[in-house]
Amino acid sequence: MTNHILSVADAIRTRRTVRHYQPDPIPEAVLSSLLELAVEAPTSWNLQDRSIVVVASDEGRERLAWATGGQPQPQEAPVVLVFVAEPQSWRDDHSDIYDRARRVGAWSDDFTAMFSAASTTFQEDLDKRGLLREYAVKDAMIAASFVMLAATEAGLATSPMNGWDEDKVKKAIGIDNRDDLAIALLVSVGYPAEERRHPGRRPLERNVFYERHTAQRSTAAQK
């Protein structure tokens, strides 16, 4: 672990995507802390419509290596976190969420009743427009971002992984029969076995606009 606490800004600036890891295990307390911080991430309507599967066994990581086409991260990192989106979870009972919010004084009874009804109406509209999966994946991705920053502060490296087969990942974590769930992202976590230099970013004015997007399409995109 690091000897000093990084600021959020420092964690953002120093985080790099690492593909190769040392075999050292992550202390249980550190991993628990990462997961606790992950579930603090905001979600649409506070539905908390995402879950995390912690894969740390040799067999489990071997299955994820198969699902990711042989990428090194699952083979080397001691832990891979699979972020699962739950597009249909809005249909479930959320009374525990509402009760907790009332107990801590965050929501009143009137607000809870209004919020619950408005949330249902909103989700029904998403369902009609085929956007439930998109919203749930967004929520899962926010949680993954929280994990990557928290891991950086703890002296760990991460890699947000693409290039995986969703059906294979679902099979690897035992939800291949769940059409109501979707894979949002895989994040490997461990102690780095390589040093990755910052490749740099484009100037702010290339990607940041005010009030209206004014970027011109590239010549290649116009063809």
Residue 166 within a domain: yes
Domain range enclosing 131: 8-222
Q: Give, in order, the Cα–Cα distances in Å from 91 to each of 73, 113, 127, 152.
A: 35, 16, 11, 36
Please tell me the total count of domains within the chain.
Answer: 1
What is the chain's mean pLDDT, rounded?
94
| β pairing state of 50-55 and 79-85 | antiparallel
pLDDT tens per residue across span 160-217: 999 999 999 999 999 999 999 999 999 999 999 999 899 999 999 899 999 999 877 7
Q: What is the CATH number of the domain that holds 54?
A: 3.40.109.10
**pLDDT for position 2:** 45
Residue 1 lies in a domain: no
213 assigned to some structural domain: yes
Q: Is residue 114 part of a domain?
A: yes
Q: For residue 3, is it within any domain?
A: no
Report the alpha-carbon distance of residue 112 to residue 98 in Å, rounded. 7
What mean pLDDT do residues 15-44 have? 96
pTM listed for this prediction: 0.92
For residue 2, is it within any domain?
Answer: no
Instruction: Give Cα separations from 86 to 109, 132, 138, 151, 186 (angstroms).
Output: 27, 9, 11, 24, 15
Q: For residues 74 and 78, what is the distance between their CA atoms, to the nearest angstrom?
A: 8
Q: Tell me the average pLDDT across 64-82.
A: 98
Q: What is the pLDDT of residues 105-143, one digit of tens each?
A: 999 999 999 999 999 999 999 999 999 999 999 999 999
